[in-house]
Amino acid sequence: MKPTFKSLILGSEEIKFADLVDLVDLISREYARKALLQCNEIAEVRGLSKMTLDDINAEIKAVRDSKTHS
């Protein structure tokens, strides 16, 4: 069963601003958590999770250098 707006605000007809702020924070954290998990899965599939800090810095330098020399 999908949660309804009322159930998320504890069934109240009135919504306090602080409750709304807490709800938005909770939703934002959940979206961020799911996005991070998806990023981790993509990194695993593409082999990016095995990159060392030196590899990452070399990639960043290469991109910056290509922008400077174009």
In which band, very low, low, confident or very high, does the pLDDT at 8 lie, cut at 50, 70 and 90?
low
Question: pLDDT (tens digit, 9 = 90+) per residue, 10-63?
Answer: 556 677 888 888 889 989 999 999 999 999 999 999 988 889 999 999 999 999
pLDDT band at 68 (very low <50, low <70, confident <90, very high): confident
d(CA 56, CA 38): 19
> Does residue 18 lie in a domain region?
yes
State the pLDDT at residue 18.
Answer: 87
* Number of domains within the chain: 1
Q: Let me know if residue 31 belongs to a domain.
A: yes
- pLDDT at position 28 is 93
Range of the domain at 21: 14-68
Task: Give pLDDT, residue 19.
Answer: 81
Q: Decide: 24 and 18 in contact? Cβ < 8 Å.
A: no
